[in-house]
Structure 1
Amino acid sequence: MSNAIRIHSFPLSGHCHRVQLFAGLTGIGHELVPVDLAAGEHKRDPFLALNPAGKVPVIEDGDVVIADSTAILVYLARKYAPDWLPADAVGEARVQRFLSLAANEIANGPAAARLVTVFGAELDAERAKATATYAFDLLEGHLTGRTWLVGDRATIADVAIYSYTAHAPEGNVSLEPYPQVRAFLKRVEDLPGFVAMPSTPVGLAA
């Protein structure tokens, strides 16, 4: 895989999973480079030379280095899989709406709730669950009568939303009230090239 991108990643991170999932769905050749977060590998060189913020994921594509899962999805779509990011202004704006949802309400909702239960993070679990409810209520309404979040095919919007939504139950956030969301998750999982993120029993990684 001499032409493969390198994905610096942690297997239990939904942000990292988005990148790996997108690479799998689009057939982008890649090599996973594990980063030992427990040992603090992400907070020292040589990792900090790639991302001074000290966070995963980071990709290397030849001489190009990009951090942040959303930025990576946009880059990979534009360069390798343009069908996954609309080129028209309206379509791109609609995708951006869900990239923003993923970076805000999803990150501060189900992702934060999962950080509490799985990793023992000192965050406000009830606030995170309330934010998750708000986000999933929005998604449930939007997905009614729709197959995908934007347009008539999967885009990076669906990839960005999938990982932490699918793993919301690990943060004690039930998906039972959201049949449209659960059906959406199943559609993503049925796509060719789908890659699952490992499930983590509560407290295992704490």
Structure 2
Amino acid sequence: MKPSAPIVLYRSRISGHAHRAELFLSLLGLPYTPVDVDLRAGEQKQPAFLARNPFGQVPVIDDGGTVVADSNAILVYLALKYGDARWLPRDPLGAAAVQRWLSVAAGEIAHGPAMARLAKGFGLPVDLPGAVARAERLFSVMEQELQQRAFLAGADATIADVAAYSYIVRAPEGGISLEPYPALRAWLARVEALPGFLPMIELPKAA
């Protein structure tokens, strides 16, 4: 199934949350039109954008008049509407395994590698040592689990992997090395080998 018109994706290219949505659109082979939102200028806090997402955050999609905000919610919507059950299993245990990692994406990943990247890459006043410690604890758990299976929720890629990938692959931008985690790095490579993969851009280097 394909949308009748390209899905509009409101994004910022440096946002890992927006990259999740764009990556999944690409993996599904869905036509979409990106609209860049200037976060530094506060465009996401203006009335026109707040009408799409009152929380003032990217990403948001508009699928023929159906507006969905929040990166994980977008993944669920796209998986159920346009994907097959591989991306979001319909059985209770499979769905729970995916949901577990969506919660991790909103919790440990957001407050670990994503927050460290905000501190180092954007100079935001956050607890960098705490974020690094959370990321390292998370990566240790993921390393153990990914020694047992190819992807986060099982043998096949799901939206769990899409939700986790973006900020983890850019963890070094927050000063967190991926070298101690070979199974984690092998998982990143498996995600990158998926047909339709779209890379997460690097932050511009400081002059």
Tell whether the structures are fold-level matches, with TM greater than 0.5: yes
Cα distance in 2 between the residues matched to 1:96 and 1:138? 17
Is the Cα contact below 8 Å between 1:112 and 1:123 reproduced in 2? yes
Q: What is the aligned partner in structure 1 of residue 94 from structure 2? A: 91
SS of corresponding position for 2:67: strand
Identity of aligned residues (%): 54
SS of corresponding position for 2:47: coil
| Moved >2 Å (runs of 4+) | 201-204
Is the Cα contact below 8 Å between 1:113 and 1:172 reproduced in 2? yes
Mapped pair 1:176 → 2:202: no
Q: What is the aligned partner in structure 1 of residue 8 from structure 2? A: 6
> Which structure 2 residues correspond to residues 116-131 of structure 1 after superposition, within 5 A?
116-131=119-134
CA RMSD of aligned residues (A): 1.3
TM-superposed deviation, 1:132: 0.2
Q: Structure 1: 5+ residue runs without aligned partners?
A: none
Indicate which of 164, 167, 178 corresponds to 1:164. 167
When normalised by structure 1's length, the TM-score is 0.96
Q: What is the aligned partner in structure 1 of residue 60 from structure 2? A: 58
- The alignment of Structure 1 onto Structure 2 pairs a total of residues equal to 204
SS of corresponding position for 2:112: helix
Mapped pair 1:38 → 2:43: no
SS of corresponding position for 1:84: coil
Q: What is the aligned partner in structure 1 of residue 29 from structure 2? A: 27
Is the Cα contact below 8 Å between 2:4 and 2:64 reproduced in 1? no
Q: Which amino acid aligns with 2:59?
A: P
Mapped pair 1:138 → 2:141: yes
Cα distance in 2 between the residues matched to 1:123 and 1:137? 23
